[in-house]
Structure 1
Amino acid sequence: MEEHKKNIIFASSNEVSISPRKIRLVVNLVKNKEIQEALDILKYSKKHQISLILRKLLLSALSNWNKIYKNILEKDSNLYIGKIVVNQGKTLKRLRPVPQGRGNRIRKRSSKILVVLEKR
């Protein structure tokens, strides 16, 4: 079990101001892909803001890998995205005025993203 834990590196991003449902659309494209392939998919994705956040997160996880395994090159290590988890973060609640003196609630959702890299 300890040897398996050594091969796992992660990076996380909290309070991303995009709803989890929208982020999961892009995350499903890159699940279980190798790092370079996932970065290429995100580079040409039409969801620019989401793909930019996920791209930064993948590069951060790759940097974390290189800090621990300094002498192993990323090409030789066969890294792939083991798991990406998108959970709901805090929800900001706002009011929008509607007729007859009432107010409707607007929910501005945020997300928490966790990327886990593993070695094949």
Structure 2
Amino acid sequence: MLLRKKKTEVCALGRHISVSADKARRVIDQIRGRSYEETLMILELMPYKACYPIFKLVYSAAANANSNMDSAEANLVIIKAEVNEGTTVKKFKPRARGRSYAIKKATCHITIVVKDISLDEYEDISFYSLKNPRWKKTTMVNRNVYNSESEVVWDKK
């Protein structure tokens, strides 16, 4: 009987959030590695604009964990939180003497990954996954004159 570790991580992704990446990172750095309930408390009390979309993403990640793995909110820990720069929204504002002034608004993509620390179990690997492995076995002929054995190499599909 083969065993495989159960999936214990769930993520939530927020794209094109209208906050600059640097402003979101100073909030994300405060919540990385903390429990779910402690994170919600921190986000409610911090006075930054980026806290509300991050709060919604953490709440969404917990809802995903509850829906997908039936995990309780008390067992969730934020193991990964990252902010990447998104597209820049460009607008033009009319100015004096017929000129235009470019307004650039930065956006960001935020990824929150939560892990259920109570789920550290193993599950059986189904017959289907044994029948169709992710790795296939190929043989390569060794061109060495002194050794006539063939060499087995594992290639990814």
TM-score w.r.t. length of structure 1:
0.82
Matched position secondary structure for 2:92: strand
Give the CA deviation at 1:69.
2.0
Counterpart among 82, 88, 91 of residue 88 in structure 2: 91
Name the residue aligned to 2:140.
Answer: none
Deviations 1:10-68 (A, max 9, x none): 00111111111111111111111111111100010111x31111111111000000012
Residue identity opposite 1:74 in structure 2: E
Structure 2: distance between partners of 1:69 and 1:60? 14
Name the residue aligned to 1:3.
Answer: 5
Matches within 5 A, 1:1-120: 3=5, 6-47=7-48, 49-70=49-70, 72-75=71-74, 77=75, 79-96=76-93, 103-120=100-117
- Higher alpha-carbon deviation: 23-32 or 99-108: 99-108
Structure possessing the higher radius of gyration over alpha carbons: 2
Matched position secondary structure for 1:42: helix
Structure 2: distance between partners of 1:103 and 1:10? 42
Aligned length: 114
- Higher alpha-carbon deviation: 86-95 or 57-66: 86-95
TM-score w.r.t. length of structure 2:
0.64
Q: Percent identity?
A: 29
Matched position secondary structure for 1:36: helix
Whether contact under 8 Å (2:37, 2:73) holds in the other structure is: no
Q: 1 or 2, which has the higher helix percentage?
A: 1
Unaligned 5+ segments in structure 2 are 118-157
Structure 2: distance between partners of 1:74 and 1:3? 21
Residue identity opposite 2:73 in structure 1: E
Q: Structure with the greater relative contact order (CA < 8 A, sep ≥ 6): 1 or 2?
A: 1
- Please report the RMSD computed on the Cα atoms of aligned residues, expressed in angstroms: 2.0
